Amino acid sequence: MTAAELRNVFYTYSKGTPFESAAVTDVSAVFESGMITGIIGHTGSGKSTVAQLINGLLPVSSGEVFVCGKNIWEDPKKMRQVRFTAGLVFQYPEYQLFDETVYKDISFGPKNMGLSEKEIDERVRDAARDVGLDDALLEKSPFELSGGQKRRAAIAGVLAMRPQVLILDEPAAGLDPRGRREVLGNITAYRNKTGAAIIMISHSMEDIAEYCDKIVVMSDSKVLLSGTPEEVFSHADELVKTGLTVPQVTKVLCGLKAMGYDVDTSAYTVDKAEKEILRLFGGEKKC
Amino acid sequence: MLKDVTLGQYFPGNSIFHKTDPRIKLLLTVAYIVAIFLAKSGAAYALLLLVSILITIMSGIRLSVILKGIKPLIFVVIITAIINVFWYSPPEGTEPLFSFWKINIYLGGLLTALYMAIRILCLILGTGVVLTYTTSPIALTDAIESLLSPLKLIKLPVHEFSMMMTIALRFIPTLIEETDKIMSAQKARGADFSSGGLIKRAKALLPVLVPLFISAFRRADELAVAMECRCYRGGKGRTKMTRRTLRPYDFILVIFFGAFIAGVVLINKYIPFYTV
Ligand SMILES: Nc1ncnc2c1ncn2[C@@H]1O[C@H](COP(=O)(O)OP(=O)(O)OP(=O)(O)O)[C@@H](O)[C@H]1O
Ligand SMILES: [Mg+2]
């Protein structure tokens, strides 16, 4: 089911001043429930802008944005409702923590939704569990947490609103490999539990390849490619031309192909590439 | 949005005002303000308006930018003008222009109001065009440091003062950007900054102010460390990357403004139409 959709969306920053810059030009994309859609692109390609267009933080210059089947700009008075449905976790969300305790900070969103005390309590504890935060940490000040824990607390603040569309802007940026895996694993678990549509912005081809069901590639404020990982990574040349890369293993396969072997270069995870190489050399897995 | 405040912002360009030495511009701004307050005769005010519009055109700043800068101040101009109309106390025996109920409107009152509006408008246009729109903050503080440097003789910390100003100016856009970002992030969690009474709105700002202060302190710390790492030890023996020398257009502008002030004074004296 389509959970969110952009149709021919344009957005220009600082319109009408000398600093005018077109950040999004003619972008159309569909985001499905129960799927993780990755948005990838070089620095300044408009990914964060797209994220803010989906939940109505930025007004479209032209085009339409649909969340759960409704055009969000039809009735701007209901925009708060849209923000609860389409939860957005900003880049470096730990800088938005403000309350005395982690618990209170996570409850900020649910409180704004006007829920009952009991419901809020349940949601806060649920969200904290979803991101792997200990109950003991809930009563601490958010400023006493480590960087990774702060990140989790901030993500929990959005999860507690139980959004049907969850947008994450670089959720794993600046975390160590283990922190990355855990946070991205938590996000996948949330998808499995709730069937929400997840939109994940990332710089890392490896992360995108491993966790996403669909990929949208942005370049110079436009959508360059979109589709399943196989489809996208089979256009390795185009990706490289715009300054992006393909996952390491896809590079290996491309190298093999360039050497004249007949391999399918669309494998993008280590497992799939291993199978492909084993098929090619007719061997069996030894260890 | 906060970003759309354009008054006091620098707009890069290529006009004579952009090229002139910032020290000269600073002095000319003072001269220009003096000229505004010297004007008495109606004709002098006309000259003020004319020159203000002329330099605005010369600066090559887009009209939309200037109008945007003026817009928030229009209200102030109108209120000042209205107050002037009613508070005018005429000399004995002046006939009111017209009167209704208990209120008398005098010609002098209307003129004062008009002149006041022209003054404020010229102040905004002139200081904006000559100084803030066309001078980068770094050039401006450089100029201030250079002009104040005689005060070093009486042991005033001129360099430190100008460094503080540079840093403050440098961080205004950063802080505005940061405020925008934090506000967006809290809005994404359903924060509502635009409804409710005064107290509710002030409370709604707490989730913005706390992260903003924390990040401002963090930035200050980082900046201090970064400056120390590059061996910043205050102003003593510090040299400048760009040495400014006066060039032809500096003199052109000085002559132009000199003629302008002289014009205002002469007009006051010889063409005293509608003087208030
Ligand atoms: N607040 C703003 N005001 C003006 N221009 C902006 C603003 N934010 C972004 N831009 C411009 O819009 C373009 C897209 O920015 P955006 O933040 O969406 O890029 P991004 O793909 O998220 O990049 P990154 O990977 O670095 O986060 C850039 O060219 C940027 O300079
Ligand atoms: Mg970004």
Are residues B117 and B251 both part of a single domain? Answer: yes
Nearest-5° angle of CA B94, CA B100, CA B103? 60
Contact A87 B188 (CB under 8 A): yes
Using the beta-carbon criterion (under 8 Å), do B11 and A158 form an inter-chain contact? no
Q: Does the residue B235 lie in any domain? A: no
- Average pLDDT, integer, range B255-264: 90
Per-residue pLDDT reduced to its tens digit, A23-76: 999 999 999 999 999 999 988 999 999 999 999 999 999 999 999 999 999 988
For residue B239, being part of any structural domain is answered with no
Residues B37 and B172 occupy one common structural domain: no
| Cβ of A186 below 6 Å from ligand 1 | no
Number of domains chain B contains? 2
Within a domain: B2: no
Residue B275 lies in a domain: no
- Indicate the residue of A18, A90, A99 with minimum beta-carbon distance to B185: A90
Taking the CA of residue B265 as centre, how many other CA atoms within 13 Å lie in the half-sphere pointing to its CB? Answer: 10
Q: What is the pLDDT of residues B65-121, one digit of tens each?
A: 788 778 878 888 888 888 888 887 777 667 777 777 777 777 888 888 888 889 888
At how many degrees (to 10) do helices A248-258 and A270-281 cross? 20
User: Are B47 and B96 in a shared domain?
Assistant: yes
Residues B100 and B217 in one domain: no
Q: What confidence score (pLDDT) does residue B253 get? A: 87
| Alpha-carbon torsion (B17, B23, B29, B34), positive or negative | negative
| B92 and B184 housed in the same domain | no
Q: Are residues B209 and B143 in the same domain?
A: no
Question: Is B58:B19 a contact under the CB 8 Å cutoff?
Answer: no
Asked whether the predicted pLDDT for residue A7 surpasses 70, the reply is yes
What percentage of chain A exceeds 90 in pLDDT? 60
Name the region of A16 (left: φ>0; alpha: ψ -120 to 50; beta: rest).
left
Summarize pLDDT for B41-52 with one digit per residue, the tens.
888 999 999 999
The CA radius of gyration of chain A, in Å to the nearest whole number, is: 20
Residue in A52, A108, A143 nearest the CB of B184:
A52
If one compares B97 and B35, the residue with the highest pLDDT of the two is B35
Residues B12 and B81 in one domain: yes
Per the confidence metrics, is the pTM higher than 0.80? no
d(CA A91, ligand 2 centre) in Å:
7
Of A45, A168, A218, best ligand 1 pocket probe by most atoms within 8 Å of the beta carbon: A45
Kindly indicate the confidence band of residue A285, based on its pLDDT and cuts at 50, 70 and 90.
low
Beta bridge partners of A62: A10
Same domain assignment for residues B55 and B144: yes
Q: Is A20 in the pocket of ligand 1 (CB under 6 A)?
A: no
Whether pLDDT at A19 is above 80: no
Q: Does residue A176 surpass a pLDDT of 90? A: no
Residues B71 and B200 reside in one and the same domain:
no
Query: Looking at the domain assignment, is residue B238 inside a domain?
Result: no
Give the tens place of pLDDT for each residue, A198-217: 999 998 888 888 899 999 99
CA distances (Å), origin A38, targets A90, A200, A212, A259: 15, 5, 6, 31
> Most confidently modeled of A109-118, A246-255, A271-280, B242-251?
A109-118
Ligand 1 atom 14, closest CA: A46
Q: What chain B residue is nearest to A54 in terms of C-alpha separation?
A: B188
Domain assignment of residue B276, yes or no:
no
Tell me whether residues A57 and B186 touch, CB distance under 8 A. Answer: no
More confident: A182 or A280: A182
Are B100 and B198 members of one domain? no
> What is the identity of the amino acid at B276?
V
pLDDT at B1: 47
How confident is the model over A236-262, as pLDDT tens digits?
Answer: 888 888 888 888 888 888 888 888 888
B186 CB within 8 Å of a chain A CB: yes
Assess if residue B217 is contained within a domain: yes
Q: Are residues B142 and B39 in the same domain?
A: yes
Q: Are B211 and A18 a contacting pair at CB < 8 A?
A: no
Q: What is the mean pLDDT of residues A127-141?
A: 92
Q: Which atom of ligand 1 is nearest to the CA of A19?
A: 4
Question: What is the distance in angstroms between the Cα of B169 and the nearest Cα belonging to chain A?
Answer: 19
Of the listed ranges A117-131, A133-147, B64-78, B257-271, the least confidently predicted one is: B64-78
B160/B143 same-domain check: no
CA A234 to centroid of ligand 2, rounded, Å: 25
Asked if the C-beta of A66 comes within 8 angstroms of chain B's C-beta atoms, the answer is: no
Q: Which domain holds residue B219?
A: 155-229
Contacts of A158 in chain B (CB under 8 A): 188-189
Which ligand sits closest to the CA of A11? 1
Residue B1 falls inside a structural domain: no
pLDDT at A279 (0 to 100): 84
What is the average per-residue pLDDT within A186-190? Answer: 94
Q: Do A83 and B188 touch (CB under 8 A)?
A: yes
